[in-house]
């Protein structure tokens, strides 16, 4: 996957644009209801929901999943019914080149941080071993190790990541791995904190399979949370990305922007354009991105949704389409 998709740092960034994609949310909804009732508490995307993004030229879809639904008991077999449901979802997303399975748990299981669970690293490794054994023969499937770990030191999170990566590769899976940092895996804060930063914790990261990228997230509002309706202007957005971009290049790593989003006002759309342009101009290190978010359950009022409403495209779609059409690999 990434070994084929990536570019040496010496190749001009403009030679190949990052692969474009979208998050199709729903599988993580109502996380307090475990396992919950499918199609009432949570939903997975289907071909109809995906169709507008495939038509736009997007190549990647990120599918949020809840760990406890896939594996109701830690270190025990995966739920046969949930995996069967997920297999059906994957079949319906065949128009994408890469399908990311995103464990959307924030570095926790049943609300408890993995570094506070005595065998948290073992539980994490067990989940990924089982998923790897099931999906290792399908190289379209990428493994999003964990959505937005937070509350633990990057060095602690790194140890948990290493356990998961080792389990995946020992299971014989060569699939693309998307590796997040701690601290919500923010691009703007990746190098913040000196020896306690994600930059320090993951500088010497190595994947035995040689097929990985660091997943970062970057929202456009003043505190980078994605919770506010205001967006910083374009120069600020470019500055937020610069340190992470430089770190990736200096340390010969690849990056993947797994979440970013914008409300539909003019300033936010300009900032969204600046963010995507930054990745295009630095495509030697940014292999791709997935916008937050599409999905059939947002309705018309979620400001960052890019799912069409009654066939009408959202304002953000014009910016995304501009860069999605450039993401096709020759």
- One of 28, 68, 82, 148 is an active-site residue; which one? 148
Long-range contacts of 2-7 (CB under 8 A, 24+ apart): 2/176, 2/211, 2/212, 2/213, 2/254, 2/287, 3/210, 3/211, 5/287, 5/288, 5/329, 6/213, 6/254, 6/287, 7/283, 7/284
DSSP 35-90: S--BTTTB----HHHHHHHHHHT--EEEEEE-HHHH-SSTTSPPPHHHHHHHHHHH
232 carries an active-site annotation: no
What distance in Å separates the CA atoms of residue 231 and residue 316, rounded to the nearest whole number? Answer: 14
- One of 68, 97, 215, 259 is an active-site residue; which one? 259
Dihedrals phi, psi of 216, to nearest 5 degrees: -125, 160
The residues, any chain, with a CB within 8 Å of residue 60's CB and separated by 6 or more, are: 19, 20, 21, 22, 96, 97, 98, 99, 100, 288, 289, 290
148 carries an active-site annotation: yes
C-alpha distances (whole Å) from 71 to each of 79, 128, 311 are 6, 11, 36
Q: Which residues are catalytic?
A: 148, 259
């Amino acid at each position: 996957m990434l070994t084929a998709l990536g570019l040496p740092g010496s190749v001009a960034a403009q030679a190949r644009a990052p692969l474009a994609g979208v998050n199709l949310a729903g599988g993580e909804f109502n996380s307090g209801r475990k396992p919950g009732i499918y199609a009432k508490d949570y939903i997975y995307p289907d071909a109809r929901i995906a169709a507008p993004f495939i038509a736009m030229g997007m190549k990647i879809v990120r599918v949020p999943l809840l760990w406890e639904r896939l594996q109701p008991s830690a270190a025990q077999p995966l739920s046969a019914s949930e995996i069967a449901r997920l297999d059906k979802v994957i079949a319906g997303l065949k128009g994408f080149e890469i399908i990311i399975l995103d464990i959307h748990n924030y570095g926790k299981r049943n609300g408890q941080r993995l570094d506070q669970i005595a065998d948290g690293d073992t539980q994490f490794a067990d989940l990924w071993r089982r998923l790897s054994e099931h999906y290792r023969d399908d190289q379209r499937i990428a493994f999003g190790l964990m959505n937005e770990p937070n509350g633990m030191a990057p060095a602690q999170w790194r140890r948990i990541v290493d356990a998961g990566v080792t389990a995946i590769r020992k299971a014989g899976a060569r699939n693309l791995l998307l590796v997040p940092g701690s601290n919500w895996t923010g691009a703007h804060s990746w190098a913040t904190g000196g020896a306690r930063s994600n930059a320090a914790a993951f500088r010497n990261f190595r994947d035995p399979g040689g097929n990985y990228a660091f997943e970062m997230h970057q929202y456009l509002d003043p505190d980078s949370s994605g919770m506010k309706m205001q967006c910083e202007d374009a120069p600020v957005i470019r500055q937020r990305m610069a340190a992470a971009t430089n770190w990736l290049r200096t340390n010969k790593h690849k990056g993947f922007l797994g979440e970013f989003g914008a409300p539909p006002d003019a300033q936010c759309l300009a900032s969204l354009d600046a963010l995507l342009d930054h990745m295009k101009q630095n495509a030697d290190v940014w292999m791709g991105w997935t916008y937050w978010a599409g999905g059939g359950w947002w309705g018309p009022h979620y400001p960052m949704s890019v799912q069409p409403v009654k066939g009408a495209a959202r304002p953000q779609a014009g910016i995304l389409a501009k860069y999605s059409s450039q993401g096709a690999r020759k």
